[in-house]
Amino acid sequence: MRIAKTTWPLSLLLPLLLLAAPATAQEPGGAAIEIDDPERAERLYRAHCGRCHGVQGLGGEGPELAQLVLPRVADQTQLEGIIRDGIAGTGMPGARATILDDEAVALVATYVLWLGAQTTADASGVTGDAGRGHDLYWAADCASCHIVAGRGTAVGPELTIIGLRRGAEYLREALRAPAARLPVSRTGLRSGFFEYLPMRIVTRDGDIYNGMRMNEDSFTIQMMTLSGAFVSLRKSDIAEMEKRVGHSLMPLTQDLGDDDVEDLVAYLTTLGRGS
């Protein structure tokens, strides 16, 4: 099987070494990535990771793994740690949830590095123009609900490092059909969901609030209104409270053409990657 023997052409490595940013997961000097049991590795990857990272590692609900440099991964040990423990506070589950022992974790880690070594920098699902996407993002209303690098309003999830968190296909769908993604979020897989449950509240005084639930306990509820105001209400002051499970507050982007969506996706995937 072709997995076992892969060497890195120097032409791929050189630009990487010059970038010298975070240490790369790949062995310097173009050493081959050897997988002890390639078929089992592929099977494990597909069964436990493919659902979120794509069967070829091109990303989806999770980021693209088939890339030369994984932003969070300096070496194989760190990669194994991420696979074993997940990334706290994100949609990346630890192996406890996926039932992989140490040997399987190591095998999958090697497979992920191999996926990275197969790709070239442009082999991602991104076809749009990130520069144009940037202009579009800031010209459209996006910043009225999202924060990027401190600019904007936090009605929806912060997008500062969205490029690390989500793959192109997921982002495309988030823009084209936001509500279609919500069933996944009900299972809690999509980070941000519980914080971003849309709600409508009417107080006993007759004030009406539309926005996102930020936090809730037995006696109080906090929400971010659609205009970006933070309100904290006592439940005893609330006359009506509607939790709109399955409802997306993302405006529909019907008025955006396919090219616009692709450009926005291209821009979003750069966020957090320092490019």
Shortest reach from residue 265's CB to ligand HEC, in Å: 8
Check if the beta carbon of residue 163 is closer than 8 Å to that of residue 272: yes
Shortest reach from residue 12's CB to ligand HEC, in Å: 19
- The radius of gyration of the chain's CA atoms, rounded to the nearest angstrom, is 21
- With CB under 6 A, what is the number of residues at the site for ligand HEC? 56
Check if the beta carbon of residue 55 is closer than 8 Å to that of residue 46: yes
Q: 232: Cβ–Cβ under 8 A, 6 or more apart, which residues?
A: 220, 221, 222
Query: Does 238 help bind ligand HEC (rule: CB under 6 A)?
Result: no
Give me the helices (H) in 54-150, please. 76-85, 95-98, 102-118, 130-139
Per CB under 6 A, the list member of 3, 42, 84, 91 interacting with ligand HEC is 91
Shortest reach from residue 89's CB to ligand HEC, in Å: 8
Query: Does 84 help bind ligand HEC (rule: CB under 6 A)?
Result: no
Q: Which residues of 181-198 are buried (b: 16+ CB within 10 A; e: fewer)?
A: bbeebeeeebbebeebbb
The window from 12-20, 34-42, 116-124, 139-147 that contacts ligand HEC (CB under 6 A) reads 139-147
Query: Does 83 help bind ligand HEC (rule: CB under 6 A)?
Result: yes
Query: Does 94 help bind ligand HEC (rule: CB under 6 A)?
Result: no
What mask of x and - would describe binding to ligand HEC in positions 119 to 138, judged by CB under 6 A?
------------------x-
3-state helix, strand and coil shares in percent for the chain, rounded to the nearest 5 = 40, 15, 45
List the interface residues with ligand HEC, window 155-194 (CB under 6 A).
155-157, 162, 164-166, 171, 174-175, 178, 189-192
The window from 87-95, 118-126, 200-208, 217-225 that contacts ligand HEC (CB under 6 A) reads 87-95
List the interface residues with ligand HEC, window 191-230 (CB under 6 A).
191-192, 196, 212, 226
What does the DSSP assignment read for 147-204? EETTEE-TTS---TTHHHH--HHHHHHHHH-GGGGHHHHHTT-STTTGGGEEEEEEET
Query: Does 108 help bind ligand HEC (rule: CB under 6 A)?
Result: yes
CA dihedral 41, 43, 48, 50 (to 10 degrees): 100
The residue among 203 and 253 lying less far from ligand HEC, judged by its C-beta, is 253
The window from 66-74, 123-131, 200-208, 234-242 that contacts ligand HEC (CB under 6 A) reads 66-74
Check if the beta carbon of residue 96 is closer than 8 Å to that of residue 87: no
Strands 147-148 and 208-216 come out as unpaired
Q: How far apart are CA 53 and CA 59, in angstroms?
A: 4
The residue among 10 and 246 lying less far from ligand HEC, judged by its C-beta, is 246
Q: Which residues bind ligand HEC (CB under 6 A)?
A: 48-49, 51-53, 61-63, 65, 70-73, 79, 82-83, 87, 90-93, 98, 108, 112, 137, 140-142, 144-146, 155-157, 162, 164-166, 171, 174-175, 178, 189-192, 196, 212, 226, 248-251, 253, 264, 268
